[in-house]
A = this chain, B = another copy of it.
């Protein structure tokens, strides 16, 4: 008899061991009020029969599923891949299951993913979503299962959140370039306007202001947050007059693309133009030159977020509900002192 077609239930064990279903349940869930002998006997029979509790049934009566939903835009993006790994690890250690959904950057898909997760009654939601400020999202945050936002949050949101301090991170990047003598520093942002791009732009502006460099809107361009986006925008960057000597991009993939685009145009990195990325994904360590970048604590963000959610679900005391982790600069080969200013 195949276990899949006919899984053994508490009832089966009860019959096989001559006690009631109730007793079996208590024996297996390790309750105190049960005779040690019967407990052992029942446990033996259960394992003999290959018993596996039906978590659906348990969820129905307990009102909790011991599962978490995670929504990301794209799990092939190294940033999200690392985030997923961190979350999955915490879940696994806490005996929670992780239901993964991908929005692919589409609001429609994101919405249907959230519906499905809601219907599946996940105990909590971890969201690193496309558009975090939509009415539907606000409704979900107010009425849905407990949620923790990762990396992005809508303006005015005060709930559980874990992410990087994008302003501080961006300032690190720009300061590094300033210290290398660069004055004409371009910034590549994204058309998404998800929140972190705004913060990074603000950090860029703030740090320039600190150095008494006048902000020039011509030095800010926008491109998709991908390698291809960066590659394509390289020509635009080179066309800016006067030509920038350094570029700070929204993220590492863009930065890699910019380096490739510059290289294709015969412009050397870092001799002619310095490039700084943001994220700190592994791939930045194998490009030529290796990418100088502002590294986020991706693993920590994922772990902290998942732990925060689980702790709150299990009514454990939680230290901080809003966690803005500092980013740090990794100086590698794509930046150098300015030559021709």
Q: Smallest CB–CB gap between A334 and chain B, Å?
A: 13
With known contacts A57-B60, A119-B55, A144-B4, A84–B75 Cβ distance under 8 A: yes
Chain A interface (Cβ < 8 Å from any Cβ of B): 2-4, 7, 50, 52-57, 59-60, 65, 67, 74-76, 78, 81-82, 84-85, 88-89, 92, 95, 97-102, 104, 109, 112-113, 115-121, 142-146, 227, 256, 260, 283, 286-288
Residues of B within 8 A of A260 (CB): 286
Of A50, A85, A119, A288, chain B has the most CB atoms within 10 Å of the CB of A119
Judge whether B65 and A88 touch: CB under 8 Å.
no
Residues of B within 8 A of A98 (CB): 99-101
Q: Smallest CB–CB gap between A81 and chain B, Å?
A: 4
Judge whether B121 and A286 touch: CB under 8 Å.
no
Q: Smallest CB–CB gap between A142 and chain B, Å?
A: 8
Query: Residue A89 contacts which of B82, B102, B118 (CB distance < 8 angstroms)?
Result: B102
Q: Can you give 23 contacting A-B residue pairs, CB < 8 Å?
A: A3-B143, A4-B143, A4-B145, A50-B143, A52-B115, A54-B60, A55-B119, A55-B120, A57-B60, A74-B85, A75-B81, A75-B84, A78-B81, A85-B102, A88-B100, A88-B101, A89-B102, A92-B113, A97-B99, A97-B116, A99-B100, A227-B286, A288-B288
